Chains A and B, each alone.
Chain A
Amino acid sequence: MAALPETNIAASRAALAGRLSGILPPDALLTEAEDLKPYECDGLSAYRALPMLAVLPQTVEEVQRILRVATETETKVVARGSGTGLSGGATPLGDGILMSMAKFNRIVSVDPLARTARVQPGVRNQKISEEVAYLGLYYAPDPSSQIACSIGGNVAENSGGVHCLKYGLTVHNILKIEVVTIEGETATIGSDALDSPGYDLLALITGSEGMLGITTEVTVKLVPKPQLARVVMASFDDVEKAGDAVANVIGAGIVPAGLEMMDKLATEAVEDFVHAGYDLDAEAILLCESDGTPEEVEEEIAKMETVMKASGATACRTSNSESERLKFWSGRKAAFPAVGRISPDYYCIDGSIPRRALAPTLRRTEELSKKYGLRCANVFHAGDGNLHPLILFDANVEGELERTEAVAAELLELCIEYGGTITGEHGVGIEKINQMCSQFSDAEREMFFAVKRAFDEKLLLNPGKAIPTLNRCAEYGRMRVSGGKMPHSDIPRF
């Protein structure tokens, strides 16, 4: 990101702070470097920047006032939920306002009969389910970060979780959002009915990475908590066999509540962390969950076990109690922090592929891992084809981050080749912006910009994220045309 010279920033900061201090309570405006520090990055910590200033509005009116000032002064604005995003969506801009939605932390109301809850965007994902548990209801999308991530961030990223094969992503589980436009106008998108007149703006805004409007309230759908859930844990001596087992489960007409895979390195890392008794000899482990009434679960679990065994599982265990089920899941849910313990840094890739491309993709991952000399642990939303190879590196070792990014770039290009996508659920942000040049044509990317301008004519909301400019892609193209090789790559460089 091209930053303005420091002196200019200081002057703009003072002028903007002057305007904002008149319209915000004193504790809602931060301008000192030490106060801005906590906002310098999201979960993609390799990218950092201090925002020009930060605001913490508490009411819709405050959000409106801030955005009106931003529009008038043509200042960029980046919204932030909990900052757990993994693609740099909430990375601040040095010449922009960082708007934290943390104070929007109330559950406004719950309607048990309609099975909906109105929640402010700063509410943590898991809090919703906790709050409505007494009604036998819950909010289905369950990203592994659910204890921390905000529902506003979930909407912005269209987040998924381990249960989204059966229960859907964020877009399938929200009815309505209240939005403030960059011009400071409020808009209701979607409704409490099942559809609304006009274009499906709810779908368009979901996953738009905070670039079309600021979400100030979300009406989520709540679903009945299944009476029972059990999970089958199957071991395989070969990753490809595990991949086939996934296809066979689906082929048998089963839509599991969750279907996840971990490879050997991932299993070792999590076993060391949670001690759940995972099979350390297995090359791959599948977790396959069934939920529903006791009768349904019994029928489905029997089918799942049959398919696993027929697909060559070397061992197969089924949870016999809720605590055992949670234990089986604990490692998968804690995969990222577990991997964080065995390596100073890790880098999470988020490509999606058609399931049939699983085996060659995993093989290529292994090759790349060898080629670049970096270990790679694979966790994988197997049911819906969403890969999460975790590349282990040490940012303090010179060149490791660059090599890691090179592995990521090659893998994402491969996902595109297989007809998949560079991001299944974490968003493009700044991280995968170059690969957008490969996945979409110039005309398609220009169409994205046209969509953005339909909401935000001056391109002030989170600009520079998600959609690369033609220039940027031309630059990236030149780099790639030379085959990723530097000119005169045969000459040794020291």
Chain B
Amino acid sequence: MENLIQSLTERVKQAASNNTPLAIHGGNSKSFYGGAIRGDALDLRAYTGIIDYEPKELVLTVRAGTPLQEIETALEAAGQMLPFEPPYYADTATIGGTVATGLSGPRRPYTGAVRDFVLGTRIINGKGEDLSFGGRVIKNVAGYDVSRLMTGAMGTLGVLLDISFKVLPKPTDEITLRFEMDEATAIQRFNEWAGKPLPISATSWHQGVAMVRLSGAAAGVKAAREKLGGEAVADAQAFWRDLRDHRAPFFEDAEPLRRLSVPSTTSPLSLDLPQWIEWGGALRWVKGAADVKVLREKIASVGGHATLFRHGDKSVGVFHPLAPVLAKIHVNLKAAFDPDNILNPGRMDNFS
């Protein structure tokens, strides 16, 4: 593997000296996401395998090209999990792409996002330097938190090599409850319930139906179920997986799909577009044609941001534009990690 790292490092150095962009990829399961891809492919799939996993430490270290499936299978065998419930979108998903896109699944508001569980990374920066930040321990404040900075940076700051995570035991019991309620009520309830000591691990609202997943120790799940009411759902695992991976019919057509990340208490957005709400109200998927400028303004006015997630016209930018003061810092950071702008240029459209 050290040979492979050597050759990856060489590729980056060469690209830097020839000024030819590199398009870093793993299983291409999330290549639809972010700004348009350009550059020579840099495939990380050969850089694969679990480096270290000791369940009693709650720490896992893996190579970026490792299939997500392989990692989750290993964790499952020890009764543990990646607590951010990573979306696959395709079976080919790797852990590197998971961290680079920074996308988390239904459990996110209740347990945390990818960035919350990344403890350390080894990367190659745009100069071809092999660098390690953070570590394999749960608490670590030596140096700036470059590892979390890598999370969601779309590979524009470095090629991810090794990543360490904090993992958690899998809850022993799980049940999903179904309620019929309108959008406003669902948003209100989700927020009220989140303020109570209830073992909620996922929430969803779509077309007048709210779903609430409870996970934890048997006694706690049972008590919460009695408190909340609703009706138990059979085969709920498939429901949450289809939502996580956008396999539900709502997500399957070719309409532009937008990811609206808003404060969880935001009242119904009334956008006149088909909608699916999760994350206790903090994530709202809408699809269909929309005036981007009007939409962004509206979402910004409630304190959120809008991303064009899949399909649609990327020429107006995929991500929400940054305030000038932040844009300047972003440009500076990009120049610091990748002075020749060769790593995934344009994947975070507005500044790289």
Contacts and interface: CB of A to CB of B under 8 A. Distances in A.
Contacts of A300: 217
A448 interface: yes
A292 B214 CA distance: 14
Contacts of A127: none
B56 interface: yes
Interface stretch (B14-22, B36-44, B62-70, B194-202): B194-202
Contact of B112 (A172, A295, A384): A172
Q: Which of B141, B172, B261, B325 has the largest number of chain A CB atoms within 10 A?
A: B141
Interface residues of A, number: 95
Contacts of B282: 193-194
Interface in A91-127: 111-115
A344 interface: no
Interface stretch (A157-165, A331-339, A360-368): A157-165
Contact of B136 (A199, A248, A354, A424): A354
A192 B263 contact: yes
Contact of B319 (A169, A197, A448): A197
A255 B195 contact: no
A6 interface: no
A247 B137 contact: no
Interface stretch (B89-97, B148-156, B236-244, B268-276): B148-156
Contacts of B333: 199, 451, 454
A147 interface: no
Contacts of A384: 137-139
A198 B326 contact: yes
Contacts of B220: 292-293, 295-296, 299
Contact of B113 (A195, A204, A420): A195
A207 B145 contact: yes
A419 interface: yes
B319 A443 contact: no
Interface in B290-336: 303-305, 307, 319-323, 325-326, 329-330, 332-333, 335-336
Interface in A219-278: 224-227, 247-248, 250-251, 253-255
B57 interface: yes
A247 B100 CA distance: 31
A352 B112 contact: no
Contact of A419 (B135, B217, B330, B348): B135
Contacts of B216: 292, 296
Contacts of B330: 198-199
Interface of A: 111-115, 135-137, 157-158, 160, 164-165, 168-169, 171-172, 181, 185-189, 191-201, 203-204, 206-208, 212, 224-227, 247-248, 250-251, 253-255, 292-293, 295-296, 298-300, 352-356, 381, 384-386, 419-428, 432, 436, 439-441, 443-445, 447-448, 450-455, 466-467
